[in-house]
Structure 1
């Protein structure tokens, strides 16, 4: 096959893969063995920059954008008039190795449209990973997108060669999926997730007894939901996320704002703007659930079904629960410290460590890195000064937003001054 044809395929299938955001981190520690290629380290694989400033990249492509389904929200839907292409298994293997040798990538993210059947497609995804591991001795990061409805045997084999597996549940609710993708069934998404979960548990148990037991999907599994295509509120979306975290031990749930790709009367009539702010608020809520000890019902419930777009969810919770404040920085436990607006978990740990040696005051908190423009309304410290006074939730919110706007304008002014 000509180089030009391969380039054309790569352009089509890389562009089609951009809608999948669930490949931003690995968490894998697959070491390089037998002088092989690559090394998936604990730093993770992502499309952005790591904390130390290192840019890490993946070859992110579809095996094919042919698909037997006609999901309203999907760019590869069979009724969509787009250019179609398909890679052979060996072509993906060769591209991955060649890109790696040129230092373009550190791993592979491989997804696919579903052609012929779920098993037919999944078999080829697994074949790519298997060839890379066994024939090319490739030890870099591999993320395979599991195909809904694939057999347990293929899912088991996939986890032996991939670092991470993921099945996109696509739409947060069963009713929404039925309306926008009537050919798909929710149980087809759940089946491979159950298999992966059980295999991970089994392999971890076996490895405690037999050290030579191979790793199975060491970076776990994740999923993704399309937000805004089917009308669910934030409460419904985060309830779904909470369910999957608790019942499937997922590493991550990703939220992808619906992007109109073609006309379909089943889809909402929205503009071309991606709801980035809503995505951000959902990710912040997800973070609070996973790392800050919040229960989903505290942030979203039947009385508060959508997140505030003008303030973050932790501040929103605090303003609705002023009776919990002020919090004494020198006395509060870790759980309550984590609920103070302006305090991240790093600051919480610094406070807990520092107060073992002395009582903390406002200056100490500034040095620790606490965002006092927010926290001052919710805390007291060694100064015995409480800044909130008798302010209402609305007044506190106004002061914080005003302060944030002033900081943004000052930052923007400083940046513009650099250009004379």
Structure 2
């Protein structure tokens, strides 16, 4: 007879392959009737042996699955040890871990059992018991099973802070090759259901604060990288489509990790962790810095550099855009300077209203000067030299004038 502890060991380990887990963006105050709250700072995290940062109670309801996705260790044809929680066992584990101050919430996913609707019903049962019976106010992230009914999506969003329907692989051709039971049109249909229902709920909330919230922290998804030949240009193009069409909060990129007795169609080597990192950097540039996916790679070089970050690569490839004057350039131009983050751009825009910025000012802002200086102009700096060392006779330096007044327009 398998104990709850045995099941936990199996199903917590099986959940580490799903990286689409984050708790940021949710704020749920304690209601005074039960236990738990979510303060928007996120749930506690632990590190798995392979280095992934995951929430402490991140588990599968079961690792049984009727699908035979080649890249998934839990596929139906895989010879692994199987386990299954009852909804009540997951509820009790969540409450026990919370009371011990181990966690602030729950991430719950599952293999597909019987049907998408049945599996989704089981996941919702856990969340409903936590919310309605135990008045649990902590964070809950549920996996939305692609292909389940709209009614179940509606129920899930009312009890979960975030929902995620995994796109799994970058292209439909990849799914045909490695996950024949899954179709991108079905997965995206579920994303669309979540997005539309959230829009409706948000509109209701604008009319009345008493209207119920729906997936307050939005939805996310995950793509496995490196299991197929899909290049970074294809991955970023798919990401742009998903962000624009379904208003995703996050896309998680998970490098493929080989496992014992894997299918011969899969790579033998793990995807370099740096590739995963470069995709996250590019994703950040697209969401917060105004970059387009088509700018970060080219048809001739469809993969991101593993040796330099994508912003630096773009800057080196567009010398006509630089140098940028930190005392005169608009926000959009400053965001493209390597070594200057988007928060520092806002600080620069604020400070320069009162005085012109020197290199020392940028240093105090913790701008990465080694990266930034070759691409910017400050009052006392031109790329390759400083104005204080400029040998031009008669140069008068006005520290309160934009550098463009000294050097001409850039």
Given the two structures, how large is their TM-score scaled by the length of structure 1? 0.87
Question: 1 CA distance for matches of 2:254 and 2:350?
Answer: 38
User: After the TM superposition, which of the residue ranges 378-387 and 116-125 deviates more from structure 2?
Assistant: 378-387
Alignment of 1:142-161 (within 5 A): 142-161=140-159
* 2:304 is the counterpart of 1:307: yes
Distance 1:372 1:293 in 2: 22
Counterpart CA distance in 2 for 1:384 and 1:165 is 49
Match of 1:68 among 63, 66, 69: 66
Per the alignment, residue 328 of structure 1 pairs with 325
- Is the Cα–Cα contact under 8 Å of residues 21 and 54 in structure 2 kept in the other structure? no
Query: Deviation per CA, 1:190-249, whole angstroms, max 9, x where unpaired?
Result: 121111100100011112223211110000000000000011000000000000000000
Query: Cα 1:48–1:353, aligned 2, differ >3 Å: closer, same or farther?
Result: farther
Residue in structure 2 matched with residue 19 of structure 1 by the alignment: 17
1:396 paired residue number = none
Equivalent-residue separation in structure 2 for 1:28 and 1:79 (angstroms): 38
CA distance in structure 2 between the partners assigned to 1:210 and 1:194 by the alignment: 24
CA deviation after TM superposition for structure 1 residue 57, in Å: 4.2
Distance 2:109 2:381 in 1: 57
CA contact (8 A) 2:43 2:103 kept: no
SS in 2 for 1:226: strand
Q: Is the 8 A contact 1:106 1:141 kept in 2?
A: yes
Deviations 1:35-88 (A, max 9, x none): 321111121236369xxxxx9944110000000011100010011100011011
Partner of 1:397: none
Equivalent pairs counted in the alignment come to 380
The answer as to 2:195 corresponding to 1:206 is no
1:149 touches 1:192 (CA, 8 Å); kept in 2?
yes
Give yes or no for contact 1:376–1:388 (8 Å, CA) kept in 2.
Answer: no
CA contact (8 A) 1:24 1:46 kept: no
8 Å contact from structure 2 (residues 44, 103) kept in 1? no
Once the two structures are superposed, the pairs formed by residues 278-317 of structure 1 within 5 Å of their partners are 278-317=275-314
Q: Is the 8 A contact 2:192 2:246 kept in 1?
A: yes
Q: Distance in 1 between matches of 2:299 and 2:276?
A: 20
Q: Work out whether residues 123 and 142 of structure 2, in 8 Å CA contact, stay in contact via their aligned partners in 1.
A: yes
1:376 aligns to what SS in structure 2? helix
Summarize the alignment of residues 67-146 of structure 1 with structure 2, pairs less than 5 Å apart.
67-146=65-144
Contact 1:125 1:144 in 2 (8 A): yes
In structure 2, what is the equivalent of residue 264 of structure 1? Answer: 263
Following superposition, the deviation at residue 148 of structure 1 comes to 1.4
Partner of 2:340: 343
Counterpart Cα distance in 2 of 1:47 and 1:39: 16
Q: Distance in 1 between matches of 2:321 and 2:46?
A: 37
Equivalence map 1:35-46=2 (5 Å): 35-45=33-43
Question: For the residues of structure 1 that align with 2:219 and 2:168, how far apart are their CA atoms?
Answer: 15
Instruction: State the SS of the aligned residue for 1:318.
Output: helix
Distance 1:114 1:188, change over 3 A: same
Pairwise CA distance, 1:265 = 2.3
Matched, 1:183 2:181: yes
Q: Is the contact between residue 66 and residue 76 of structure 2 (CA under 8 Å) also seen in structure 1?
A: yes
CA contact (8 A) 1:24 1:47 kept: no
Cα gap change, 1:187 to 1:356, in 2 (>3 Å): same
Residue by residue over 1:350-389, the C-alpha shift from the partner in whole angstroms, topping out at 9 and shown as x without a partner, is: 2111111111122222122211111111111112532289
SS at 1:165's partner residue? Answer: strand
2:395 equivalent in structure 1: none
Preserved CA contact (<8 Å) 1:26 1:163:
no
Where do 5+ consecutive residues of structure 1 fail to align? 50-54, 390-420
Inter-partner Cα distance in structure 2 for 1:197 and 1:368: 38
Partner residue of 2:374 out of 352, 377, 381: 377
What is the rounded CA distance, in whole Å, between the counterparts of 1:368 and 1:303 in structure 2? Answer: 37
What SS does the aligned partner of 1:377 have? Answer: helix
Alpha carbons 1:337, 1:343 under 8 Å: kept: yes
1:281 Cα deviation from its structure 2 partner: 0.1
CA distance in 2, matches of 1:312, 1:388: 25
What stretches of structure 1 move > 6 A for 4+ residues in a row? none
Q: Distance in 2 between matches of 1:385 and 1:153?
A: 61
Corresponding residue number in structure 1 for 2:57? 59
2:6: which partner in 1?
Answer: 8
**Deviation, structure 1 residue 346:** 2.1
Q: CA RMSD of the aligned region, Å?
A: 1.8
Q: Equivalents in 1 of 2:271, 2:328: separation in Å? A: 44
